[in-house]
Amino acid sequence: MLNPTKAPGEPPRIAIVHTSFLAVESFGELFRDLAPEVCVRHVVDDSLLPEVIAEGAVTPAVHSRLLDLFQGAATSGADLIFSQCSSVGEVADAASLLVEIPIVKVDEAMAERACEAGPRIGVAATLGSTLLPTRRLVESTAARMSKRVLLRCELIEGAFALLESGDRAAHNALVAQALMELASEVDVVVCAQGSMAAVLPELGDLGVPVLTSPRLGVEHALRVLRTRAQAGH
C-alpha cells in the first residue's frame, strides 16, 4: 500500500522502535552511513528494557506498551518499522499481524546467516532476557530453512551492568574472553545483543564467524524497503 501521508518525491521513512536510549545514536549513524537518503525517526520508551531485565522476560504490560509503540509508528507515516531490541523480537512478530507495513527485527538476518554457517551455533548474550528469545529465533529460523542445528548458549554474567555503568572497556574485555572461549567449540558465534558489536575489533581472527546484528539488520531492512519501493508499495 502506498503511504497516503507522503507527497511524491518525499524520502522513504523508517521508524526505529527502541526499548532504551543505549543504541539510538549508533543506529542513527548506521542508517546515515548506509542510506543517507532515508528519513529515520526514533521511537523510544526507556522504561521498557529495565522492566524486561528486572522480570527476566517480556511482561504483559511491556507487551501491551510495545504494541502501542509499533502501531503508533505505523500510523506516523513510516514505510517500515525496525525493531531494535532483541529481547522483544517476539512482540514485533505479534505487532506485524496488526500493521500494514513491514516490521524488520534487528537480528533476523543474523539468525539466517548463522544457520547458513554451520550446524554448531554458539549464542552469547549479556542479558538473560535476550538469550532465550535469540535461541528461539535461531531455532525457528533453522526450521524454516530446513537446517539441523545444535545450539550452545552462554550468558556473560555482569557484562551488561558494566556497560550501563559506563565502563565499556571492562564490558568489552569480559565479552571478548567469553566469545573466544565459545568460538573454540562451535562453527559460528551469534552475539545476541547489538551492544556486543563493539568488541569485534578486539577479537582478531577466532577461526569461525562472529556475527553481530546491527549492520546485518540495517542492511536487511534497507533491502526490504527498496524491494517494496520497486514494487510500488
Structural domain includes residue 136:
yes
Looking at the fold, whether 201 and 114 belong to one and the same domain comes out as yes
Q: What is the pLDDT at residue 201?
A: 87
**Structural domain count of the chain:** 2
Q: Which residues of the chain have pLDDT under 50?
A: 1-2
Structural domain includes residue 6:
no
Looking at the fold, whether 173 and 138 belong to one and the same domain comes out as yes
Cβ-based neighbour number of residue 136 at 10 Å: 13
Looking at the fold, whether 80 and 120 belong to one and the same domain comes out as no
98-116, pLDDT tens digit by residue? 999 999 999 999 999 999 9
Give the type of residue at 129: S
Nearest to 160 by CA among 192, 123, 203, 201: 192
Structural domain includes residue 2:
no
Q: What is the pLDDT at residue 1?
A: 41
pTM of the complete model: 0.90
Structural domain includes residue 1:
no
Looking at the fold, whether 54 and 125 belong to one and the same domain comes out as no
43-86, pLDDT tens digit by residue? 999 999 999 999 989 999 999 999 999 999 999 999 999 999 99
Q: What is the pLDDT at residue 133?
A: 93
- The domain of 71 spans 13-106+215-230
CATH number for the domain spanning 28: value is 3.40.50.2300
Would you call 180 exposed, middle or buried from its count of C-beta atoms within 10 A (0-12, 13-18, 19+)?
A: middle
Give the type of residue at 41: R
Percent of all residues in the chain with a pLDDT value above 90, rounded to a whole number: 80
Looking at the fold, whether 75 and 130 belong to one and the same domain comes out as no
Q: What is the pLDDT at residue 2?
A: 42
Q: What CA–CA distance (Å, rounded) separates 140 from 159?
A: 27
Q: What CA–CA distance (Å, rounded) separates 231 from 1?
A: 10
Looking at the fold, whether 94 and 149 belong to one and the same domain comes out as no
Structural domain includes residue 177:
yes
Structural domain includes residue 183:
yes
Structural domain includes residue 4:
no
CATH number for the domain spanning 118: value is 3.40.50.1860
Structural domain includes residue 82:
yes
Q: What is the pLDDT at residue 233?
A: 66
Q: What CA–CA distance (Å, rounded) separates 104 from 89?
A: 9
